Amino acid sequence: MTYRIKISLGTVWEETIGFVRAEASLLLPLALLGFGLPTVMMLLAVPMDEASAGTLKPGPWMAWLLPCGLISMLGSIAVSALALRPGVSVRESILVAIARVPAAIGLLLLYVGVQVVLAVPLALATLIDMRVSGGAGPVAMMVNLADVALVIWLFVRILPIWAVLADRPQTPWAAVRTAFRLTRGCYARLLALRIVMGIAAIFAILVLLIPIGAISQLIGMATHNPPLSIILSFVATGVVLAGVIGLWTVYVARLYRALEVATDAPNSGI
């Protein structure tokens, strides 16, 4: 298979590692604030008794999804801005993220609109199955699979969307069009990249969190303070996820720049 855009994912990875090593003092606080903090907030909001018993139900605790999601969105844009703009400070990266909030919310509304559009044929297919067989049937199943395939395709095609938004001010629709233009011709590679990176991230998180959880539990037992072990494990989880997501965000930002160069798109910024 030939690809319209020729880029080296390995080279992008090397650039990412080089950037992380050089700018760790700037990247770490942004990643902790943008990804670690909302993780800890969300873990503290979840009713642990219900979660442990497997009886977790929707409730008021889900309201925390909104501020946590907003902070994570700001973190994605801020880290992307840091990776794309040589010499930018943490404060300037955060200001870029704040300036892009209206466009970012517009992107989220576009996503909600897509979900609503996809829900219509699924609802119709379910009604058809109900009339024919009295329950879920093959029509609804096929439509559901098609919806899932379409959502996966969209997520791959807009992979660099936060980097696109961080690089220059633009409307949500313009950002989507830019992401689609940059990822044209390399869907298979980017899909494989998402799968491989996802597996690697899950493995790394598990490897790191298992011993951290054991140490937190020992500290709680030693201090006769079980809640302390829970809080320590939550904080450790936030730190680990901040590192993993921060690294991935930098990689996607560097990938965006490589795609931009490969398609002869003009480089720009604020």
- Distance, in Å, from the CA atom of 212 to the CA atom of 208, rounded to the nearest integer, reads 6
Helices 24-31 and 65-84 pack at an angle, to 10 degrees, of 160
Give yes or no for a contact between 111 and 176, defined as CB atoms under 8 angstroms apart. Answer: no
Tell me the angle at which helices 65-84 and 226-262 cross, rounded to the nearest 10 degrees: 40
Distance CA 227, CA 204 (A): 26
The model's pTM is: 0.86
For residues 251 and 12, is the Cβ–Cβ distance under 8 A? yes
Parts of the chain with a pLDDT under 70? 1-6, 49-55, 129-137, 139, 264-270
Q: Which residue type is seen at 262?
A: A
User: 93-131 in b/e burial notation, b at 16+ Cβ within 10 A?
Assistant: bbebbeebeebbebbeeebeeeeeebeeeeeebbeebee
**233-266 residue pLDDT tens:** 889 889 999 999 999 999 999 999 999 887 864 4
Taking alpha carbons only, the member of 74, 105, 78 closest to residue 90 is 78
User: Where in the chain are the domains?
Assistant: 9-49+59-262
Taking the CB of residue 40, how many other CB atoms lie within 10 A of it? 20
Phi and psi torsions of 58, nearest 5°: -60, 140
Structure tokens, 154 = 């969209």
- Write down the pLDDT at residue 262: 79
- pLDDT for 267: 45
- Residues 161-196 pLDDT 10s: 999 999 999 999 999 999 999 998 888 889 999 999
Q: What is the pLDDT of residue 136?
A: 61
Q: How many residues does the chain have?
A: 270
